[in-house]
Amino acid sequence: MRSFLSQFKLLGMVLLGISAVICYLFYNALQPKKTLRVYSPAMVNEELVAEEIQHVRKYHTIGDFSLTNQNGETVTQETYKDKIYIADFFFTTCPTICPIMTKNMASIQEKILDDPQVMLLSHSVTPQIDSVPQLKKYALEKGVVDTKWNLVTGNKKDIYELARKSYLAVKTDGDGGPYDMIHTENFILVDKERRIRGFYDGTKEEDIEKLLEDLNVLKQSYLK
């Protein structure tokens, strides 16, 4: 009799365990999957967007570009084809927020180092100062891994237009120059379709954590 009751108890525990697993699976299945919004110019502070596209509400993507990286190599949209990437704007002689941003970008680089899906892209807003040798010096100082992270320079007009019309990330200077820029602390998450999926304060650790969480959500969205 005792043996029968022991077997009955064991069966009950097994059934209870199976029920718990089924309930957990049902609970997860019923939870809405987290998704990231797709940003358009109309959703962003007007100060950061070229006037002629401030009304655009959908179908916004990063435009084509051709810039030069820290190794003197040409970097284009093809370099980032089928990649998720994180972009920002900086300059190597910036004494304020740039060192913090670069440090945080380097910490992201460490986490994505072995992830072939993800890359980084930093644009200089002072290309007249940030020559290829200057970018290379900065890259070596900051631990930039060439295969993961491009620091790019180029024609200032081209960078300005990318910043204002594609990445929606910098303000005009207001000193009378047509292509002067005040860069923000924003890190911009870009998906494989060249759409903006998030903006993050590159100087704040909590925003970096949020970026990494959103990066995982975005990566999961590509799993079939």
pTM: 0.84
Q: Are 73 and 27 found together in one domain?
A: no
Please give the Cα distance from 201 to 184 (Å, whole number): 9
Dihedral pair phi/psi, residue 213, rounded to 5° = -65, -45
Residues facing 18 on adjacent strands? none
Dihedral pair phi/psi, residue 157, rounded to 5° = -60, -40
- pLDDT at position 17: 55
Place of tokens 């097994």: 14
DSSP H helices in the chain = 2-30, 98-112, 132-142, 156-161, 205-221
Instruction: Report which secondary-structure segment, H or E, holds 182.
Output: strand 181-183
Q: Are 16 and 71 found together in one domain?
A: no
Residues facing 182 on adjacent strands? 171
- Report the relative pairing of strands 66-68 and 181-183 from DSSP bridges: unpaired
Domain with 20 in it: 1-31
Q: Are 65 and 166 found together in one domain?
A: yes
With a cut of 50, say whether residue 173 has pLDDT above it: yes
pLDDT digits (tens, 9 = 90+) for 72-96: 999 999 999 999 999 999 999 999 9
Q: Are 55 and 160 found together in one domain?
A: yes
Please give the Cα distance from 55 to 40 (Å, whole number): 9
Q: Are 13 and 85 found together in one domain?
A: no
Q: Are 189 and 215 found together in one domain?
A: yes
Beta carbons of 217 and 35 less than 8 angstroms apart: yes
For residue 113, which amino acid is it? L
pLDDT digits (tens, 9 = 90+) for 60-74: 999 999 999 999 999
Those residues whose C-beta lies under 8 Å from the C-beta of residue 163, and which sit 6 or more positions away, are 89, 123, 125, 169, 170, 181, 183
pLDDT digits (tens, 9 = 90+) for 119-134: 999 999 999 999 999 9
Domain count, the chain: 2
For residue 201, which amino acid is it? D
Within a domain: 36? no
What CATH number should be reported for the domain holding residue 188?
3.40.30.10
Q: Are 3 and 112 found together in one domain?
A: no
With a cut of 90, say whether residue 18 has pLDDT above it: no
